[in-house]
Structure 1
Amino acid sequence: MSLFSRIVTLVAVAALAGCQTVPPGDAEAAVCPAVEVPDCPVCQIEECPAPRVLEKIVLRPAPPPPPPPPPATAGELDLPIIGVVEFVTVDPPGVRLEAVIDTAAEGSTLAVRNLRLLEKDGQRYVNYTLADPVTGGEHEIEALVRRRASTQHADGSTSRNHVVQMWLSLGESRTRVEVGLSERTDMPYPLVVGRNLLTDVAIVDVSRRHTLDNQPPP
């Protein structure tokens, strides 16, 4: 190819590229035509909507299970367990009294008033008054004296009481026992139940009180 043909080819290539070719040694560099850059629209960023709460779940720790109820009976005879204080029905006259259960006392003691000793047909009787704590009334009772017995009290003192027989109902048990009559006014409970009623009838749990309250009185 001749020199002229080569020059023509280079000029054609430069024209196609859109550039101007300057001869060597010219101070101006090759200038490319400005290219218009189209504007790109800004894309809108869409945020995801907040999730809908269909059901709110709250986790709470489960309460501990309740302790098992204390046993109602115990022992080889499957006797009822009673507390240190129970209600006992005294008959006569059928009065329901709050009683302290004293396993250290051999006999039972009842607080009375206006105690008088009588004699009929050569036998000794007592006449006494028993107060009803529910109605506030008083019952006058006469009973045959079985004997006299010494009673030791919690404060260490002793007294000789007239002993009579009466029915005492403790829970579902109704027993005729000997009861000493006392005119002491410092007894915390009107009735003290001793071992003469408790033997083979009940087992005493001193940590409990009124275990028989849910049972109807006899």
Structure 2
Amino acid sequence: MRTSPLILLLLAPLMAGCESLHFPWQKSTPAVIESGPPAEAAAAREAAQQCPPVQEVVCAEPEVKVVERVIERTYEKVVEVPVAKDKLVLGSVETVAIEPGGLLLESLIDTGAPTSSLSVTELKPFERDGKEWVRFKVGAGDEDDGVSVELPVKRYVRVARPGFETQRRPVVNMSLTVGDVTHMVEVNLTDRTSLDYRLLVGRNFLKDAAVVDVSRRKVQGQPRPPQPK
């Protein structure tokens, strides 16, 4: 049996133990020249074929920067100032002088009432010079018989209170003095003897004249009516 020269050419390197055999379609690899004893060379080849050992990689912790923030707080400063230099400061209760009558009455200052109201007894209407008048008594206390006063009726008002019947009250002009301030205002007349205060000072006196501090009482002290000239 005859062997082809091409086959002999390919088998010759294998028979010679050459490791540099490669086929024409493969890329040639440069030969590695080993030095040293055969045992060391074999150990080097085996080590080269093994995977490198796994090494633990520890990442450095990120740097944390602490930024100090200073928050400024603004506090409101309360400063007491007068509401108005030309106005009275009244408490919830003040002593009021009334004219005619010349009486001093401990009175309730009521910003919710549109007009002032006075407690009277023996209220009787009558006619004088063709005009309607009223005669009544007003006193400073339960044991006081009171003084008799006669005044012309300016008009009538109807007052409705919860739990009470609607009242038709006569309205007269009277002079009220609180502290150093005196005003002629409309006052409606009714029986307030069951209430704590005989006189209720409403907004018609307070308007443009006074401000009320409900936490205080008798701020103005004794009234000082103007002296007759």
So what's the TM-score if we normalise by structure 1? 0.61
Aligned-pair distance for 1:94? Answer: 1.1
CA distance in 2: counterparts of 1:167 and 1:78, whole angstroms: 20
Report the counterpart of residue 176 of structure 2 in structure 1.
Answer: 168
Is 1:142 aligned to residue 142 of structure 2?
no
Q: Deviations over 1:75-133 (max 9, x none)?
A: 24542211011010010011000110010000000000000010122210000011134
Determine which of 123, 137, 147 is the counterpart of 2:131.
123
CA distance in 2: counterparts of 1:191 and 1:147, whole angstroms: 19
Is 1:217 aligned to residue 224 of structure 2?
yes
Alignment of 1:1-218 (within 5 A): 74-76=82-84, 78-133=86-141, 136-153=144-161, 158-213=166-221, 215=222, 217-218=224-225
CA distance in 1: counterparts of 2:163 and 2:179, whole angstroms: 29
SS of corresponding position for 2:176: strand
Q: Deviations over 1:131-172 (max 9, x none)?
A: 134993420110000000123447676422100001000111
Give the number of the structure whose residues are more often strand, by fraction: 1
Larger radius of gyration: 2
SS of corresponding position for 1:197: helix
Report the counterpart of residue 45 of structure 1 in structure 2.
Answer: none
- 8 Å contact 1:111–1:187 — kept in the other structure? no
Structure 2, gaps ≥5 residues long:
1-78
CA RMSD of aligned residues (A): 2.5
- 8 Å contact 1:113–1:129 — kept in the other structure? yes
Percent identity over paired residues: 38
Aligned-pair distance for 1:185? Answer: 2.9
> Relative to structure 1, is the Cα distance of residues 85 and 193 closer, same or farther in structure 2, using a 3 angstrom cutoff?
same
Structure 1, gaps ≥5 residues long:
1-69
Aligned-pair distance for 1:192? Answer: 0.4
- 8 Å contact 1:112–1:129 — kept in the other structure? yes
> Relative to structure 1, is the Cα distance of residues 88 and 152 closer, same or farther in structure 2, using a 3 angstrom cutoff?
farther
SS of corresponding position for 1:150: strand
SS of corresponding position for 2:204: helix
- 8 Å contact 2:170–2:188 — kept in the other structure? yes
Report the counterpart of residue 64 of structure 2 in structure 1.
Answer: none
The aligned amino acid for 2:224 is: P
- 8 Å contact 2:96–2:223 — kept in the other structure? no
